[in-house]
Structure 1
Amino acid sequence: MNSQPEVIAHRGGRWPETSENTLAAFTLAAEAGVGWMETDVHASSDGVLFAAHDADLSRIAGRPHLIRELSAAELDRLDLVDGGRLPRLGALFDALPHVEWNIDVKSPVSIAAMIRFVRARRVEDRLRLASFSDTTLTRLRRALPGVRTSAGTGETARFAAGALPFLPARGLLRLPPGLDALQVPMRWKRVPVVTADFVDRAHRIGLAVHVWTIDDPADMVELARLGVDGIVTDEVRLAQTTLSSLTGLSAGIPGRKGNSRRR
């Protein structure tokens, strides 16, 4: 094994007395040496992007509203159940200028806001865009040529078909410009997704493999031995310790890039 996987902080990671997807969480991850953050975005009613996994505010803020129903000013004033405030994506980019962002565009209504954000701030080199939706990714790629993206669910399934002996390594996957990573669960309904063949075929066609969300040290070790490029985790410190013990190197070195494997 030549190098260890990148540690990618899932929603900033899990830290004591700190809410997910907040500036405090992302700052702690950055201070721990993590160079890549994972988050999701939703747009306010006036088109401002906020870092949040859920479309609604019930779980994180105890409010019976969708994020898209409230203005940015209203969202700025909300207190989260576990403390802190919902951060604007722009505020995160400003506060942490040396980290990179893997951003899942959760809803079609957020696509236009994401495009405006990237164009206005010229942050193409600081992010990778993700979505389960192939349609969402197609729209983002067309509007933002050159921006890195991961594969959607359908694209990943077409790549997986490459395990069949009569298909090329890429399977049935077309390789659109900007696609640089497959981001997948370790298993799907107890069926292994990430195998030695999966990782090898991805690397042969220039794609990184990132696996989510991995909080078990045994899984981290197995994935590292398979040669994956990134591990998305809530347990940042645990992942760093586990991976460094395998290689003798420190995980999540400041300034390290996210194995983009640009073609």
Structure 2
Amino acid sequence: MTVLSASSPLGRAVTRLVTARTRAAATIAALAVTGAAVAVAVATSSPATAEPGNVVVSENFSSGSLPAGWNAVDGAWKVENGRLYGTSASSGENNKITFGRHLSDFRLEATMRFESVSAATRWASLGIDVPADGATPWWIATMRSGTTAANGLEFAQRTTVNAWVVTNTASAPYAAGTGRDVRVAVEVHGNQARWIFDGREAMRTNSLQRSPNGVQALFVNGGTVSYDDVTVTELPPNGYIRPEGSPFTVIAHRGASAAAPENTLVAQEIARKGGADWIENDVQPSKDGVPFILHDGTVDRTTDGSGNVRDLTAAQIKALDAGSWFGPQYVGERVPTLSEQLADLRNRGGSLLLEIKGKHTRAEVATIIQVIRDEQMMGRVFVQSFEVDALRYTYELAPELPLGLLRSSLDADPVAISRELHLTAYNPDGNALLAKPEVVAPLHAAGVAVMAWTMDSAGLWQRLERIGTDAVITNRASELAGWNSAFMQRASADPTVQITSPVDGARLDRAQSPVIAVAATNADTVTVTLDGNKSAVGRRLDLVKLTAGRHTVRTEVTGPEGTATATSTFTVTVSQAGLGYLILTSGAEPAAINAMTVKLVHAQYAELATYVDRQAGKLVPAEVASVIAADARTLALK
């Protein structure tokens, strides 16, 4: 008789198996408890603004090595188990790998997973505009493992002096943590970008400073992160069309004109702090040809002076008080030149929707464009006007500038005039648009955005959102930004569900015993099936009783706003260690356990299968005998 001792090779292996099973069961049980409490917000609509175009990069790392053209600039990068792993030993290491090519309009997306981090503040990033050699400056869209922090998501630049400039921050609806796949994306249109977390827009920026040759990249800081399914897709150039499920672009009419003297730098600052995406202001020349930011044809209403703007010199306009008329706290505010306004936006953040006010000659339009060029703001200015000639001159002199046609009433054919004038946006009075909402769809089909002016109430905003308006010009920019936040919360009421255990694609041996765990939000009921048979959240899967091969867990949740489903397919693998665990836990008679383990140790798998078949229902319980015999025959064929 052979006795299995703890010191024998098989005995030591079995001890390791039992320990591993205990640890795995405890870990997965903990995951189930945690997962059930996680709040997940996932959109059902794609934020992409058009059908996918040219796919520049599509990589799932199935080759087992770094793809051709991917440059591991610094840090440890390797491909393993069908994923790309990057490691950074400390928070001071911004390790990166570059790839792709320079694009102005594109979507970069990836599945990211924090494998381990030194702290919840550590991060991983999608590189938006990074020199191929990794040199500074570069721009990134960052995600911390503690994504629910106020700065869990960021847009940031690393400057040439290795300083950080963080332009935008936001929190995600749930924590990425470690061990969890998160699908992330960033959509870039020139200096604009949207940060998309698990299918939903989390924030946006219009402060990117693009280089002429920057490519895409992946980053890791203070931990190990794995990436999968990395794609880069070219997008149509008009990033002003609002993706389904995303909020309005907020355009502050004459700055924060409801809270500060219009068309001043203080109004611009208040609007910026209040959440405006763009500042809308008017430009017209002084007597000596200097472009100033003023709405009226005279200075009478908004300054302490009088006279026509075009009859006053730049020195005379600069001497006027443009704030005291609004309130005593604004005494001494000045009328800014276009150059001063652009410099403020360049240095402090923001972009300008610039209305060329009234009739302008070609030379006057050329002066405006030259100021924009001199202030290095060509990528952050959008020109609009009621004057068709002003738009024609702008296109002739600077075709790269986006154009919008202002209208008090709608044209008979908005699409035709948009094509004629090379418009990026058609900008009608909001009430005129609401009277004929059917014009939005053909404009979008032609690649033209729709920006409505000047709408200042929540009731009007709601109606404009329903007809697909892309942007709203408003005197109440901070209120619209708040309305946008509420819109996003309403939009996230759809139920969501994710199977957190067993994870999709898992390969499990017989010694493991995972618990079915589901993370759901906005759900009243949760149903679960295993291979089509009813199961339950929290059920421990006994892999001893499952056949080798693939099995599928499916869950469906229902809530007030609808239903959502998720599936996870795992594989029960056959191994000598797993077969040893089956034998030890089979409940067979001691004599049978000893006989089976002897054959297992000597890899006599065919003899083991024959023995178990003979003893099924006798020395070996019938329900487990068939599994042992099947696994033994599988091993015999290897």
| TM value normalised by structure 2 | 0.35
Unaligned runs of 5+ in 2: 1-243, 491-638
CA distance in 2, matches of 1:181, 1:134: 14
CA distance in 2, matches of 1:132, 1:70: 24
1:212 aligned onto 2:453: yes
Shift in alpha-carbon separation, 1:158–1:142, aligned structure 2, 3 A: farther
- The match for 2:351 is 100
Query: Comparing both structures, which one devotes a greater share of its residues to strand?
Result: 2
1:139 aligned onto 2:411: no
- The match for 2:249 is 6
After superposition, the C-alpha distances for 1:61-91 in whole angstroms (9 at most, x for unaligned) are 1433111112212211100222421111111
Shift in alpha-carbon separation, 1:141–1:193, aligned structure 2, 3 A: farther
Aligned match for 2:379, one of 125, 131, 138: 125
Contact 2:282 2:356 in 1 (8 A): yes
Letter in 1 for 2:338: L
Unaligned runs of 5+ in 1: 161-169, 250-263
1:66 aligned onto 2:308: yes
Runs of 4+ in 1 over 6 A off after TM superposition: none
1:31 aligned onto 2:273: yes
1:57 aligned onto 2:311: no
Q: Compare relative contact order (CA 8 Å, sep 6+) and give the higher one, 1 or 2.
A: 1
**Percent identical residues:** 26
Q: Secondary structure at the match of 1:59?
A: coil
Letter in 2 for 1:8: I
Q: Secondary structure at the match of 2:479?
A: helix
Computing the radius of gyration from Cα coordinates, the structure with the larger value is 2
The correspondence of residues 163-182 of structure 1 with structure 2, limited to 5 A, is 170=415, 172-173=416-417, 175-176=419-420, 178-182=422-426
CA distance in 1, matches of 2:468, 2:484: 12
Contact 1:133 1:153 in 2 (8 A): no
- The match for 1:90 is 339
CA distance in 2, matches of 1:36, 1:119: 19
The Cα shift of 1:185 comes to: 0.8
CA distance in 1, matches of 2:256, 2:435: 24
Contact 2:287 2:309 in 1 (8 A): yes
Aligned match for 1:235, one of 476, 482, 496: 476
Query: Comparing both structures, which one devotes a greater share of its residues to helix?
Result: 1
After superposition, the C-alpha distances for 1:170-191 in whole angstroms (9 at most, x for unaligned) are 3x33615752001111224xx8
Aligned match for 2:441, one of 200, 209, 216: 200
Letter in 2 for 1:102: L
Contact 2:418 2:426 in 1 (8 A): no
Q: Which moved more, 1:110-119 or 1:91-100?
A: 110-119
Letter in 2 for 1:34: A
Letter in 1 for 2:350: V
Shift in alpha-carbon separation, 1:10–1:42, aligned structure 2, 3 A: same
Contact 1:12 1:25 in 2 (8 A): yes
Q: Which moved more, 1:26-35 or 1:108-117?
A: 108-117
Contact 1:213 1:233 in 2 (8 A): yes
Letter in 1 for 2:253: H
The Cα shift of 1:243 comes to: 2.4
After superposition, the C-alpha distances for 1:112-131 in whole angstroms (9 at most, x for unaligned) are 42132234334221111111
CA distance in 2, matches of 1:173, 1:12: 29
- The match for 1:79 is 321
| TM value normalised by structure 1 | 0.81
Shift in alpha-carbon separation, 1:130–1:49, aligned structure 2, 3 A: same
Q: Quote the RMSD (CA, aligned, Å).
A: 2.3
After superposition, the C-alpha distances for 1:191-211 in whole angstroms (9 at most, x for unaligned) are 84451x211111101011100
